[in-house]
Amino acid sequence: GQVQRTANRPLATGRISGKEALAVAAVIGLLAFVLVLFTNTFTIALSVGGLVLACTYPYMKRHTYLPQAVLGAAFAWAIPMAFGAVSETVPLHAWLIYLATVSWTMAYDTLYAMVDRDDDLQAGIKSTAILFGEADLMMVGILNGLALLALILLGNKLDFSFWYYAGLVLAVALWAWQLWQCRSRERDACFSAFLHNHWVGAAVFAGIFLHYSLT
């Protein structure tokens, strides 16, 4: 409720209670676990890690300056689970995808946190945007660079073709445009850059799709 961007959300305004929100979360979590039961023992064991990450994330912004890292780890946990569900193992290239996803999520969620930075400082909420301070855009670039390195190593390991790397080049151009857009660090610009990351995902996906379609 103390953050401009989220002040009108149902929980912040009291349209739903904390107990109601927890009840809905519990039902959704139970349904997710039912789905996991259709896989195998290895994936069910991995799902415990996903549960821990999902449950601890909301508290990270109160106790650490790295909630974006935990968010990335939680988002990316679907990757080892997907590999586990298919092959009951998590190969090295799966962890490269995991690293790329965590780094990319930290980068775009830092842009998101830059939208709320002034409000978060007043409310005592922590984020990478606050931790990085004036080096925020540089760190976003470094995190995107780490994601790019992991994706390049992935392409090399799986012997991907020109099309995959063309998708990565387009992703880099889109990342560069986001940094340029956020140079003023204005709320609307940072929020627009955050939303723009779906085009980055589309570029990487297109490269993978064209590789498998044309080679």
Q: pLDDT tens-digit profile of 133-188?
A: 999 999 999 999 999 999 999 999 999 999 999 999 999 999 999 999 999 999 99
* CA atoms of 42 and 81, how far apart (whole Å): 9
Q: What DSSP letter does each residue of 141-176 carry, written as one string?
A: HHHHHHHHHHHHHHHHHTT--HHHHHHHHHHHHHHH
pTM of structure: 0.90
pLDDT of residue 4: 77
pLDDT score for 192 = 96
CA distance 36 to 25: 17
Which of the residue ranges 51-55, 177-181, 202-206 would you say has the lowest mean pLDDT?
Answer: 51-55
Q: DSSP assignment of 82-129, as one string?
A: HHHHHHSS--HHHHHHHHHHHHHHHHHHHHHHHHHHHHHHHHT---HH
Confidence of residue 9 (pLDDT cuts 50, 70, 90): confident
209 CA to centre of own chain = 21
